[in-house]
Amino acid sequence: MRAVAAFLLVLCYLAVTHAWNCDEGTGMYNVTQVDAGQGMVIARDTSGYVYFLIGSSWHRMSTTEFKHASVGPAGIWATGNTQDKVYKYIAGNFQIVTSGQAMQQVDAGGNGQVVGVYYDNNYCLSSTSASAYSGSGALTWTSLSKAMTYISCGPYGCWGVDKTDKIFFTPNMTPTSCDTREWTQIEGAAVMVEVGTDGKVFVVNRGGMLWERTGIAARTPQGTGWNHVSVCMKVRHVSLDLGTMWVVTNIGLLLKCTQ
């Protein structure tokens, strides 16, 4: 894998210069998903194990196999590989939520709330419940009444994609109640969307191409257009925090990109 990665990166450096400069300096391979938030970075490998980045070293967080994991203002949350159980990372361990909504994908990057998807249905856990949960008791999830396959939230609202690759946005989710406005379809097509804690939005389409939403601001939370981000390899997953973009390629290589 290292030899293949080195060869592909040489090709990248020979390609046309673009706004983001990417480097394989992470020492993490066979990656399927990455998530960054609050200055923390976690990654999940093909075996389902979740790793935490400390300095330049990756440390496995649990022997449990996960389907998806997320880190952000709401803490670290994950979904189990079997039965789609929800977990929260508490006091150095992933604690299973024994009673509550099952999830296939979760996002902890909003304003303290947790959102997730279970068989195309969207759900939200209020910021009050998410922060107070300490490993016991049931959690009550609010239905967001929109069929999605992937969802992510940030300071200006939430973004999602459905099973037909349509992209949707809803502004100003209330974190303490999970109240939202109507979902508006945004032009474009994607299979996953990721919102940074600074509000930046990236999507990956079915062809493995990476796009950044332009024009996002308080007055235009939905943005104004799309800008193609050239990575020179097909992309599987992306996340952004503190000006650093983390990209998972289709061969499981994790890239660290800066502008």
Cα–Cα distance measured from residue 236 to residue 73, given in angstroms and rounded to the nearest whole number? 24
**Among 31-45, 59-73, 135-149, whose mean pLDDT is lowest?**
135-149
pLDDT at 168 over 70: yes
Q: Are 68 and 102 in contact (CB under 8 A)?
A: no
Residue 188: per-residue pLDDT: 98
pLDDT at 234 over 90: yes
Q: CATH number of the domain that 68 lies in?
A: 2.120.10.30
**Among 2-11, 89-98, 197-206, whose mean pLDDT is lowest?**
2-11
Here the tokens at position 86 are 């929800």
Residues paired with residue 101 on neighbouring β-strands, in sequence order: none
Sheet holding 225-229, edge to edge: 192-195, 201-204, 210-214, 225-229
CB atoms within 10 A of CB 244: 15
pLDDT at 11 over 60: no
Q: Are 192 and 160 in contact (CB under 8 A)?
A: no
| Whole-structure pTM value | 0.92
Cα–Cα distance measured from residue 70 to residue 48, given in angstroms and rounded to the nearest whole number? 13
Residue 120: per-residue pLDDT: 86
pLDDT at 43 over 70: yes
Kindly give the pairing relationship between strand 50-54 and strand 57-60.
Answer: antiparallel
Residue 16: per-residue pLDDT: 39
Which is nearest to 23 in space by CA: 216, 230, 258, 218?
258
Q: Work out the percent of the chain whose per-residue pLDDT is above 90.
A: 81
SS3 135: coil
pLDDT band at 17 (very low <50, low <70, confident <90, very high): very low
**Among 67-71, 120-124, 230-234, whose mean pLDDT is lowest?**
230-234
pLDDT at 18 over 70: no
**Among 5-9, 99-103, 122-126, whose mean pLDDT is lowest?**
5-9
Residue 37: per-residue pLDDT: 96
Which is nearest to 109 in space by CA: 15, 193, 230, 229?
193
Residue 23: per-residue pLDDT: 86
Residue 85: per-residue pLDDT: 95
pLDDT at 248 over 50: yes
Residues paired with residue 239 on neighbouring β-strands, in sequence order: 246
Domain count across the chain: 1
Sheet holding 121-125, edge to edge: 105-107, 114-118, 121-125, 142-147
Contact partners, residue 14, CB within 8 Å, separation at least 6:
none
Q: Are 61 and 45 in contact (CB under 8 A)?
A: no
pLDDT band at 197 (very low <50, low <70, confident <90, very high): confident
In Å, how far from its chain's centre is CA 63?
Answer: 21
**Among 185-189, 204-208, 229-233, whose mean pLDDT is lowest?**
229-233
Cα–Cα distance measured from residue 57 to residue 31, given in angstroms and rounded to the nearest whole number? 15
Cα–Cα distance measured from residue 154 to residue 90, given in angstroms and rounded to the nearest whole number? 23
Residue 82: per-residue pLDDT: 86
Q: Are 163 and 134 in contact (CB under 8 A)?
A: no
How many CA atoms does the CB half-sphere of 62 hold within 13 Å?
25
Cα–Cα distance measured from residue 46 to residue 194, given in angstroms and rounded to the nearest whole number? 20
CB atoms within 10 A of CB 120: 12
**Range(s) of the domain holding residue 184:** 2-258
- Write out pLDDT tens, residues 74-114: 999 999 998 999 999 999 999 999 888 999 999 999 999 99
CA distances from 103 to 13, 118, 133, 159, 178 (A): 39, 5, 17, 17, 17
Residue 19: per-residue pLDDT: 77
